Structure 1
Amino acid sequence: MSAPYPDEPDLIGAAGFIFQGPVRAKRSKVKKPPDGPLAAAKKARQAKALRRLIGASIAGVTRKQPEVMVKVSGAAKGAKHLREHLAYITRNGKLTAEVSDASNDGQATLLEGSADVRQLAAEWYARGGSGRRSNTRETVNMVLSMPAGTDRQSLAIAAAAFARAEFGGKFDYILVHHEDTDHPHAHLTVRARNDRGQRLDPRKEDLQRWRERFAAQLRQAGVQAAATPRRARGVVQKATRQAVRHLDKRRGANTSRWRIQQAVRTLQAQRTGKAPDEPWRKAIAERQRKIRAAWGTVAVALEQQGDVGLAIQVRSFIAAMPPVATQQDQMIERIKSNPQLLAKTERALQAEQDQGRAPRRK
């Protein structure tokens, strides 16, 4: 999301950063408005801009509308990987897919059956040309999803409309809807290079734009959905990367044991007043303080414009923001509530320490 109201950057001043996406637009110099009719007209435009912002962002956040997710889940590289990926998202052809051919003005057709899936993979790879490297991305793989309870049919309609609007006639794509999880979602796979030689290389600002457009399609389908930046929701910590989650899953008990031991070490240091300096924790707390202050500025602006009801919602939203809690903080609270786990881990740490102190045998 760019600046919330580019024509009126002085409406809430620096507080506008909470409504900006990952890449900020350049800030224009603001001239002091003249007195008289021009000033009144400018104030009226500001009020109108604020109402637009209320409808698009503030109301969605304060009312805690469900947030859409548009995630780039990976890329297919090479003919075999491409074939395997298309087989995976279509369940080896058992699920009906919507396929769009950019060379045919983006006209969509339905595809079903393992033979057709393999043929599509072969066609896409062949159209990529020869001489490319083995690690060249053939596709950009995405997942479009909403929280559990979202109407699946409405999500399917919105996902199809989003894919056609964003990629139809520009890039080939295949869209498949999955019904096997609580969270309704669709897999959208787009050819990374079209026949005109253009490559699809999404950046953070592209992902935010895609979220906003997907949310708009969901609302048109009758589903309440928002696509606000993380900081606008008071989220100051980055989510765990998918690669890290998979690594933790493979390591299993070893990773869990290590995290527990680290948390116990921190807890022991806190007890003795020797907790290490953690600048990253201070940085997270400062970011949330700035977000709270920015929302407070928004509440004041709303009150000045006479929107007292929404200002009250904003202040309630600020009050409901949870305190900063890292994953380690959550682990420490878990350990505190489980004395047996704490005692067992402390014994294990003490045994490791004693073993390290023991003299080596000659």
Structure 2
Amino acid sequence: MTSAQHIDGVLVQWGERLFYPGNRIVKSAPLPRLDGMLRRKAAVIRQRIEATVRRAPQVMVKVTGGGRGMAAIAAHFRYISKNGKLEIEDDREVVRAGKEAVRDLADQWRYGGSLIPEEGHRREAFNIMLSMPAGTNAALLQKAAREFAQTELSGHR
């Protein structure tokens, strides 16, 4: 098998996983034998990859877990504020900085509503990350993030 044929075989194998996933992949299928149909499949997958790359850069919204208990939530507040060195904004658009502000925000979460225990089995918070391409205007990014939060997370802290 030549190098180009091997690359096409791997491309078809991974492309089918990426673009046409089954319900669950248990084990890796052997590399497909390349005939005319598989070469055409490889070409189609190549076109989809190129189309995706041409549209880059892109915006991404990612849910990255969350806090099970107040200890985890407070640790995340410290992380995103770089332990109080960066400003942090709450759901009422109050902007504060410093370690005391981070502790105050954690206390608002802990006692505002039902008590959140220090350690827990329930997920009390979700982390949502908004990623923008390099060079995005910071003021527009902040405005877009606020509008996203107001639209998608209204009624939540």
The normalised TM-score by structure 2 is 0.57
What amino acid maps onto 2:115 in structure 1? G
Structure 2 unaligned spans of 5+: 1-50
Q: Is the 8 A contact 1:96 1:111 kept in 2?
A: yes
1:69 to 56, 60, 68: 60
Residue in 2 aligned with 1:152?
138
For 2:97 and 2:145, how far apart are their aligned partners in 1? 19
Post-superposition offset of 1:70: 0.5
Q: Give the counterpart letter for 2:62 in structure 1.
A: K
C-alpha distance 131-145 of structure 1, shift in aligned 2 (>3 A): closer
Instruction: Tell me the equivalent position of 1:78.
Output: 69
1:125 counterpart = 2:116? no
Runs of 5+ consecutive residues of structure 1 not aligned to the other structure: 1-59, 101-106, 173-362
Is the Cα–Cα contact under 8 Å of residues 96 and 110 in structure 1 kept in the other structure?
Answer: yes
Change in Cα spacing, 1:146 to 1:130, as seen in structure 2 (3 Å) is: closer
Matched to 1:111, the amino acid is R
Higher relative contact order structure (alpha carbons within 8 Å, sequence separation ≥ 6): 2
Q: Secondary structure at the match of 2:103?
A: helix
Partner of 2:95: 110
- Worse-matched range after superposition: 68-77 or 130-139: 130-139
Aligned partners of 2:64 and 2:128 also within 8 Å:
yes
Over the matched positions of the two proteins, sequence identity in percent amounts to: 37
- Kept after mapping to 2: 8 A contact 1:79/1:122: no
Q: Could you report, residue by residue, the CA deviation over 1:150-171 in whole angstroms, capped at 9, with x for unpaired residues?
A: 2333212211221122223x10
Q: 1:322: which partner in 2?
A: none
The offset of 1:71, in angstroms, is 0.5
Taking the aligned partners of 1:89 and 1:62, their CA distance within structure 2 comes to 30
> Are 1:142 and 2:128 an aligned pair?
yes
1:184-208, Cα deviation, whole Å (9 max, x unpaired) = xxxxxxxxxxxxxxxxxxxxxxxxx
C-alpha change, 1:75 and 1:94, in structure 2 (3 Å) is same
Aligned to 1:96: 87
Provide runs of 4+ in structure 1 moved above 3 Å. Answer: 60-63, 130-133
Partner SS for 1:143: strand
Distance 1:134 1:113, change over 3 A: same
* C-alpha distance 62-139 of structure 1, shift in aligned 2 (>3 A): closer
CA-CA distance at 1:90 after TM superposition: 0.8
RMSD over aligned Cα atoms: 2.7
Instruction: Confirm or deny: 8 A CA contact 1:128 1:138 kept in the other structure.
Output: no
Q: Provide the rounded CA distance (Å) in 1 between the counterparts of 2:117 and 2:70.
A: 13
Q: Equivalent residue of 2:67, what SS? A: coil
**Displacement after TM superposition at 1:88 (Å):** 0.6
The answer to which structure has the higher helix fraction is 1
